[in-house]
Chains A and B, each alone.
Chain A
Amino acid sequence: MRGEAPTTVEAPFDDVTAGVVNAVREVEELSGRAILDESNLIVRPARDGTSGVDLYLSTSSAGGGLQMTVAGVVKAMSAESAERAALGAGAIIIDVIAVDDGRKEYEKVRRIRELRPDMILVSGGTDGGTVKHLVEVAEMLIAADPKPRLGIGMSLPVIYAGNKDARSAVSDILDGKVDLRIVDNLRPTLEAENLGPAREAIHELFLQHVMQQAPGYGKLSSWTDAGIMSTPNAVGKIIQIIAEQLGINVLAVDIGGATTDVFSVFGGTFNRTVSANLGLSYSICNVLTEAGVGNIQRWVPFDTKEADLRNSLRNKMIRPTTIPHTLEDLRIEQAVAREALRLAFEHHKTLARTLKGVQQVRSIGDLLTQEATGQTLVKMMELDMIVGSGGVLSHAPRGAESAHMMLDAYQPEGVTMLAKDSIFMMPQLGVLSTVHPQAAAQVFDRDCLIKFGHVIAPAGVARAGDFVCSLTMDGEERTFKFGTLTLIPLGLTETKEVTIRPGRGFDVGAGRGKHVTTTVEGGTVGLIVDARGRPMRLPADKTQRLAKLQEWYAALGLQAAED
């Protein structure tokens, strides 16, 4: 059951709980179960078969999210680790300050002051390492004398998660001037990150400071059985649980009106990034600015004039709640979505990487094979599942449209499952996972996730019409030519054992030209064979490009535009 109601965080209500009660009322109506008592309080625990609930949990994205500045000593090391810690805790990073970031000290002081973050995370120095630089960072904070964004007259929360030997020096400078919390070093050695304690501190301060500023949160907190969790923090939790329980690498995205969040777990390492200004309504023109109008136009399967496209995106920006009425309008919005997804993913790849600065012992033989430090952890060939959520993916009129957008934006390689979050249930499951991880994982699999089906995408390039791979399924062999997209019917929960034999120069996971035998699963769309090559390139000529786009739409059973 899902009940929804508009937020009541703003005037004239100024109380979030009114909206919560409205949404719960809707659940009551849909389920026929009495959940609220006569004073509109949630009845807990469940009293009998027809009233109350056992558990009430809540997530929130109110107050514009958690806006943080992070500071470190070395930009590519401690400052980057601090960035990962804050992002993983659900924050939006408004600035990264490092001693070596190339800006003059007064410029950094001015930035800290102007941006007015909700809190600041200070890191730097391995345990036993530099003290002097941390003292400088602390002095910089005092110089700026920053005020928190919310709560006039309140002290700014600052979390110190740097060299433990510098704690007393940093405390001497900051104590009494900010609300200082000290936690374990998030980069105790060059070789290791310890992000947990800093993330916990961020979460706690989020509840104490940011949430308390939002009207009605004190009351809401008293209703919940576990702390209110920020929405992205909760999504991150469920993604980690799923990756761990299924032993897979997962990429998840939540594309909203203002921001796009990307989550990944590769080899057990969790990362989250948020692209604060990539979204499909409030931020739609920022996608236009960052991607460039040509990159959006290239995905539109019919001829569009640049000026019309620009004005129509501007009009969406100023009237963000409107929806595409015509199929053409929908195709334009989906073209923007491809670019927003792609740009947010590029951003994610730059931060989800191995630790920089790690010393490696190299032999002569290693020189050719060993990877440098700071390489991205995101390896498309090793990715098992992509989960899309957010209006444009979750509510696309046809599942194949969501799958198509994810294919174009992410260009998965090898064999990858594409899926969507049915009704944006991941945040709720994330907070549930802190109480009942098993129940959260089961609901995720059965109710939350809607699988579109596996996609087989050989990596490599060739000329149009060249052989890319063959697929043997049910004893029958099919071949696929370069530049084509093919949909093979395979329903939900249906599985098949297949053998994929890639052509020379193509790789489906076992190396170039090497075959792979695996089990593929269908879904609401089916099994897709994407033989468009990796990296995928669209024809430069407009007529050829439009013909190709229309061919691919048709291959997935979709109409490119109205007749």
Chain B
Amino acid sequence: MGTAYTPGLKVSRRTLVRKTRRLPLKGQVMVSEGQQVDPDTVVARTEIPGIMQTVRTAEILGLEPAELQPALRVQVGDRVQRDHVLAETRSFFGLFRSECRAPVGGTVEMISEHSGHIGIRVPATPIEVTAYIKGRVAEIIPDEGVVVETQAALVQGIFGVGGERTGIIHMLVSSPEEPLTEDMITPDLAGRVVVGGSNVSGAALVKAAEIGTASVVVGAIIDRDLIDFLGYDIGVAITGQEDINTSLIITEGFGSIPMADRTFRLLSSLEGQQASINGATQIRAGVIRPEVIVPTTEVAADEIGQDLGQLLEIGSHIRAIREPYFGILGTVAALPPEPALIPSGSTVRVLEADLADGRRVVIPRANVEIIEE
């Protein structure tokens, strides 16, 4: 009971990043194992079958389903263009003619004697999966995709919106406490990954999107500014599919919170380098956090694989992640084995922490995260 595991976000100068790039349906893998790939290299491709459009043929011709057969001008498997005659009837010595034409082009897949409907499958839509990061194809998943791996600097955020982007990292502030404001956004930042400090204002975010900034990475955002930016409220933290051209990653939380020093220093050191970023977040089982990945070719053996982990011990550097100490840094001073009573009235497992401001406080273990120094 002297130690405990606690969640923490990965902020690492050099780590092995592996990304599984998978098709939604079976398809074709376009690269081979060991191949070097760039973020925009197509690694797998497939076709999503088109939707089948149902044409109420018997109904259109005023026939019973069973009467359709003699009127048919197509059969299953035929390729048809838009306006192709699918079925027709003639009456009164051929003077009156009724037709049913194809509303779309495609392949006749179904002719139903039960309903008198004809189904036309429209052509398939090709879809491609790119490598997303610069790296090496480490593994092939037959017919489905690949695993790309690289040595990279990695920053995980706590929450994000918007999908995958790439861009050059550009620092817009000089300290983690400094907010990112509208006047800092200039047209030359199009396609860049811009980094701010404690907060991004709503106006700055809108302007960043207008000029086509690839991504904004910042400590926090006020809840209302995010809602205004998206045009709707987020009920559940499952994101990544938003229709926005600038992805947003927040590293700390909601409100105005300075970016963790270590994260800020790491991003500063990566300025000018190309990053692959993804705002997609899924806070459920199978958690996905937003990320900034900057592949590197430098290998410093002593740093590879370093993952100061998740082990909470006396001396561990922590940050409180809930009120009343939200955002405050400290070190673990004691890990009492017995659950203790906290002001809410619950009896839970706690730790004692020495805060940066000199106080020693008791905090539930669930309310801290380990930070790497």
A110 and B115 CA atoms in complex are apart in Å by 21
Stretch at the interface among A78-86, A205-213, A285-293, A370-378: A285-293
> Chain A, 116-145, contact with B by CB distance < 8 Å: what is the 0/1 string?
000000000000000110011001101111
Q: Does A315 contact B (CB under 8 A)?
A: yes
A314 and B326 CA atoms in complex are apart in Å by 13
Q: Assuming A285-B234, A310-B224, is B326 touching A147 (CB within 8 A)?
A: no
CB-CB under 8 A from A327, the residues of chain B are 343-345
A477 and B49 CA atoms in complex are apart in Å by 75
Q: Does B231 contact A (CB under 8 A)?
A: no
CB-CB under 8 A from B281, the residues of chain A are 318
Chain A interface residue count, Cβ-Cβ cutoff 8 angstroms: 59
Q: Does B51 contact A (CB under 8 A)?
A: yes
Stretch at the interface among B91-99, B207-215, B317-325, B351-359: B317-325
Q: Assuming A143-B51, A323-B346, A325-B367, is B110 touching A315 (CB within 8 A)?
A: no
CB closest chain-A residue, reference B347: A397
CB-CB under 8 A from B119, the residues of chain A are 139, 142-143
Tell whether, in the assembled complex, residue A131 and residue B114 are in contact, meaning their CB atoms are under 8 Å apart: yes
Tell whether, in the assembled complex, residue B366 and residue A322 are in contact, meaning their CB atoms are under 8 Å apart: yes
CB-CB under 8 A from A326, the residues of chain B are 323-324, 343-344
Q: Does A105 contact B (CB under 8 A)?
A: yes
Tell whether, in the assembled complex, residue B158 and residue A318 are in contact, meaning their CB atoms are under 8 Å apart: yes
Q: Does A169 contact B (CB under 8 A)?
A: yes
Q: Assuming A64-B285, A325-B344, A398-B345, is B51 touching A113 (CB within 8 A)?
A: yes
CB closest chain-B residue, reference A287: B235
Question: What DSSP secondary structure best describes chain A's contact surface?
Answer: helix
Q: Does B253 contact A (CB under 8 A)?
A: yes
A300 and B277 CA atoms in complex are apart in Å by 40
A252 and B66 CA atoms in complex are apart in Å by 52
Q: Does A185 contact B (CB under 8 A)?
A: no
CB-CB under 8 A from B342, the residues of chain A are 325
Tell whether, in the assembled complex, residue B284 and residue A258 are in contact, meaning their CB atoms are under 8 Å apart: yes
A147 and B344 CA atoms in complex are apart in Å by 47
A327 and B345 CA atoms in complex are apart in Å by 7
Other-chain residue from A136, A140, A315 in contact with B326 (beta carbon distance below 8 A): A315
- Minimum CB–CB distance from A309 to chain B (whole Å) comes to 10
Q: Does B60 contact A (CB under 8 A)?
A: no
CB-contacts of A525-563 with B (<8 A)? 562
CB-CB under 8 A from B25, the residues of chain A are 147, 152
CB-CB under 8 A from B117, the residues of chain A are 136, 139
Give A residues with C-beta under 8 Å from B.
Answer: 7, 9-10, 62, 64, 105-106, 109-110, 113, 131-132, 135-136, 139-140, 142-145, 147, 152-153, 169, 172-173, 258, 277, 282-283, 285-286, 288-290, 307, 310-312, 314-327, 329-330, 395, 397-398, 562
Give B residues with C-beta under 8 Å from A.
Answer: 7, 24-26, 49, 51-54, 65, 109-110, 112, 114-115, 117, 119, 143-144, 158-159, 222-224, 233-237, 253-255, 281, 283-286, 321-326, 342-348, 363-364, 366-367, 369
Could you pull out 14 A-B pairs where Cβ atoms are within 8 angstroms?
A: A105-B54, A132-B65, A132-B114, A143-B54, A147-B24, A282-B237, A282-B284, A283-B235, A310-B224, A315-B326, A319-B321, A322-B321, A325-B322, A327-B345
Query: Which 6 residue pairs of A and B lie closest in terms of their CB atoms, listed nearest first?
Result: A286-B235, A397-B345, A143-B52, A314-B254, A330-B344, A322-B322
New contact pairs (7) apart from A105-B54, A319-B158, CB-CB < 8 Å = A152-B26, A283-B235, A285-B234, A311-B253, A323-B348, A324-B346, A325-B324
